[in-house]
Amino acid sequence: MDAERAKVAELEANHRAISLELANAKSLELDKRRELVSASDEIEKLRMKHTREIMELEIGVKSKAREARELADELRLVKGDLERERDHVSNLKATVSHQSTSHITLNAQINALQAQNTASQTQLDAAVNAISDRALELEIAQRRILELEQDARESEMVRRKLHNMIQELKGNIRVFCRVRPVLTSDLSSSSSSTGLVRSGSSNSPTPDDEEKGAAADMSFPDKRDHKEIAISSSSSSAMGFERKEVYSFGFDRVFEPQSTQAEVFEEISLLAQSCVDGYNVCIFAYGQTGSGKSFTMEGGSTAATTGMIPRAVNEVFRAAEHLKPKGWEYKMDGQFLEIYNETINDLLGKGEFDKKKHEIKHDKSGTRVTDVNVMPLPSPASVTSLLRVANSRRTVAATLMNERSSRSHSVFTLRISGTNTHTGESCEGSLNLVDLAGSERLNSSGAAGDKERLKETQNINKSLSALGDVIAALGEKGEKGEKHIPYRNSKLTYLLQNSLSGNSKTLMILNLSPLAAHLNESLCSLRFATKVNNTMLGTAKKQVRGSS
Ligand SMILES: Nc1ncnc2c1ncn2[C@@H]1O[C@H](COP(=O)(O)OP(=O)(O)OP(=O)(O)O)[C@@H](O)[C@H]1O
């Protein structure tokens, strides 16, 4: 039993061992199962990862394939470029070889040119030396010319001053004659356009002369002193013979048609200057309508055509400026009047027409016209504006009354009073610049039907003959002593009384038309001017007062 017990015990022990082993085996199996599950999870994960990697690889392969295609395309382009570059390079090589040939040729040419250049440089150096020698000679010659010109100017000044002195001693009224050029407008207007009535004298214009714009036969024989004018006129006698007559006239100066305003002014600049020294100066422009009076006195708008009024005024200002260092101080003022039908019209007034009645007064301080505008003139520019005002008023009047300006006298007066701050002296001068009404012989009978025209004609005739009478009487006075001077016979002579007396300097510029159609008028004007020229006026006197 024991054995059985032992056997049972042993069996039980075996059973326990086996149960233990079984429990262990079960736990082991459980572990293995777990390991199996986790291994299969792991496998699943690996499979998925693998799948993903395969996909990525496929994408990579595709992208590489695209890159490979792009690279192939690029390669193709590069090959094309390369081909072109090769062509280009081969062209360049050809060009380079051509250029190097040219280069060699050019080098040869350069060498030849350099040789030539060296030769030219040598010649140039010689020429430069010669030029600098010539320049030196030229400079010396120019300096000499300047000196001679200066001498000539000074001599000319001396000549003019002497001439002036002779004139003053002779006391003669001076007369210049100026012939205007033939204008293109003359060619288109007929000779009768001026409305002139000619006398039936032997020197009447021939039918040919009556051609539009035909020039008169005028000549200027005195080529040295320019003091003579000759006019030839031909006419047919009753027997049918051609008769040619030559009329010669001499004046202080004759200006030919091509003379410039500057040349005319050169001759009167000393006269203008003398106002500053206290002289009364009177310059008239006389001549028929259209003969160039306004052109001479007022001139055109360009510097070259500027007339005597602006030039004279500038000269007066210049002379006054020149005397400043000697202590002279000047005050200037100006007036511009028009005398139409023996009535004074203030060209510096206001309104369309001057309705005021003006009177001329003479007293110790000089000539005054009542109720007219006297403008202070501090500078030449102020004279320009004065002339502009006067001209615009004349233009208005001309528009309102056809050609009125030709039938009125215009009188510009510049009054100059100076005092010397060093010496206390004072002086009063005046410059009268007069553009006279057209001097053509107007036919009173022709104007008889037109009252206004008849009155104008009579007034122009009256004032121009009054001017002639005053000058003639002044001449007789010079010869015989005391004599009545008929200043009061016209407004013009009365206004200019102080500037027309023997004490003043008077210049008449006779303007002539160059046209054959105006020959008769020109001869009349020349005869009138000759009478004036032969008149002896007294010696001009300065109006200077010492310090009181
Ligand atoms: N020296 C000259 N050079 C060029 N043109 C001139 C000259 N003189 C006059 N003329 C011209 O001739 C024409 C007539 O001249 P202007 O008007 O001066 O004559 P006028 O005698 O004053 O006439 P009016 O009595 O009608 O005023 C104008 O066209 C003017 O420009």
Is any ligand 1 atom within 6 A of the Cβ of residue 373?
Answer: no
Is any ligand 1 atom within 6 A of the Cβ of residue 203?
Answer: no
**Taking all residues of the chain, what is their mean pLDDT, rounded to a whole number?**
84
Is any ligand 1 atom within 6 A of the Cβ of residue 438?
Answer: yes
Beta strands 280-286 and 505-512, pairing class: parallel
Distance, CA 291 to ligand 1 centroid (Å)? Answer: 6
Is any ligand 1 atom within 6 A of the Cβ of residue 340?
Answer: no
Q: Which residue has the higher pLDDT, 87 or 5?
A: 87
Which residue minimizes the CA distance to atom 27 of ligand 1?
A: 406
Q: Region 483-512: what's the mean pLDDT?
A: 86
User: Which of 3-17, 249-263, 449-463, 529-543 is predicted least confidently?
Assistant: 529-543
- Alpha-carbon distance of 265 to 310, in angstroms, equals 10
Residue 476 has pLDDT above 70, yes or no: yes
User: Which of 176-185, 210-219, 260-269 is predicted least confidently?
Assistant: 210-219
Question: Which is nearest to 264 in space by CA: 197, 180, 207?
Answer: 180
Is any ligand 1 atom within 6 A of the Cβ of residue 299?
Answer: no
- Alpha-carbon distance of 145 to 491, in angstroms, equals 52
The overall pTM is greater than 0.80: no
Is any ligand 1 atom within 6 A of the Cβ of residue 493?
Answer: no
Question: What would the pLDDT profile of 123-168 be if each residue is shown by its tens digit?
Answer: 999 999 999 999 999 999 999 999 998 887 787 667 667 766 766 6
199: annotated binding-site residue? Answer: no
Is any ligand 1 atom within 6 A of the Cβ of residue 261?
Answer: no
286 close to 512: Cβ distance less than 8 angstroms: no
Residue 24 has pLDDT above 70, yes or no: yes
pLDDT confidence band for 200 (50 / 70 / 90): very low
From the CA of 288, give the closest atom in ligand 1: 21
Q: Region 82-89: what's the mean pLDDT?
A: 94
Distance, CA 292 to ligand 1 centroid (Å)? Answer: 3
Q: Region 190-215: what's the mean pLDDT?
A: 44
pLDDT confidence band for 198 (50 / 70 / 90): very low
- Alpha-carbon distance of 380 to 318, in angstroms, equals 9
pLDDT confidence band for 180 (50 / 70 / 90): very high
Q: What is the pLDDT of residue 169?
A: 60
Q: Region 231-252: what's the mean pLDDT?
A: 83
Q: Region 55-70: what's the mean pLDDT?
A: 95
Q: What is the pLDDT of residue 217?
A: 85
Q: What is the pLDDT of residue 363?
A: 83
Distance, CA 339 to ligand 1 centroid (Å)? Answer: 20
Q: Which domains does the chain have, with CATH numbers?
A: 174-181+249-545 (3.40.850.10)
DSSP 102: H
Strand partners, 410: 338, 435
Question: What would the pLDDT profile of 39-50 be if each residue is shown by its tens digit?
Answer: 999 999 999 999
Q: What is the pLDDT of residue 355?
A: 72
419 close to 429: Cβ distance less than 8 angstroms: no
Which residue minimizes the CA distance to atom 8 of ligand 1?
A: 292
Q: Is the ipTM of this complex over 0.95?
A: yes
Q: What is the pLDDT of residue 389?
A: 86
291: annotated binding-site residue? Answer: yes
Helix, strand, coil tally for the chain in percent (to 5) = 55, 20, 25
Q: Which residue has the higher pLDDT, 297 or 444?
A: 297
- Alpha-carbon distance of 178 to 95, in angstroms, equals 80
90: annotated binding-site residue? Answer: no
Q: What is the pLDDT of residue 459?
A: 84
Q: Which residue has the higher pLDDT, 205 or 530?
A: 530
Q: What is the pLDDT of residue 84?
A: 94
Q: What is the pLDDT of residue 396?
A: 60
Backbone angles phi, psi at 303, to 5 degrees: -60, -40
Which residue minimizes the CA distance to atom 14 of ligand 1?
A: 290
Q: Cα 314–320–322 angle (5° rounding)?
A: 105
pLDDT confidence band for 191 (50 / 70 / 90): very low
Is any ligand 1 atom within 6 A of the Cβ of residue 405?
Answer: yes
pLDDT confidence band for 367 (50 / 70 / 90): confident
